[in-house]
Amino acid sequence: MCPTELHAFQDKVEEFKALDTEVIGVSVDSKFSHFAWLNTPKSQGGIQGVNYTVVSDLNKQITRDYDVEVEGAGISYRGLFLIDKDGLVQHQVVNNLPLGRNVDEAVRMVKALQFFEKNGEVCPANWNEGAKGMKPTDEGLKEYFNEAVAA
Out of 1, 2, 113, 148, pick the active-site residue.
2
- Nearest Cα neighbor of 50 from 5, 113, 111, 114 is 5
For 137, phi and psi rounded to 5 degrees? -135, 165
- Nearest Cα neighbor of 111 from 8, 7, 18 is 18
123 tagged catalytic: no
For 111, phi and psi rounded to 5 degrees? -65, -40
Quick check: 52 and 26 in contact, CB under 8 A? no
For 97, phi and psi rounded to 5 degrees? -55, -40
Listed in order, strand segments (DSSP E) in 69-125 are 69-70, 75-76, 78-83, 89-95
Residues that are catalytic:
2
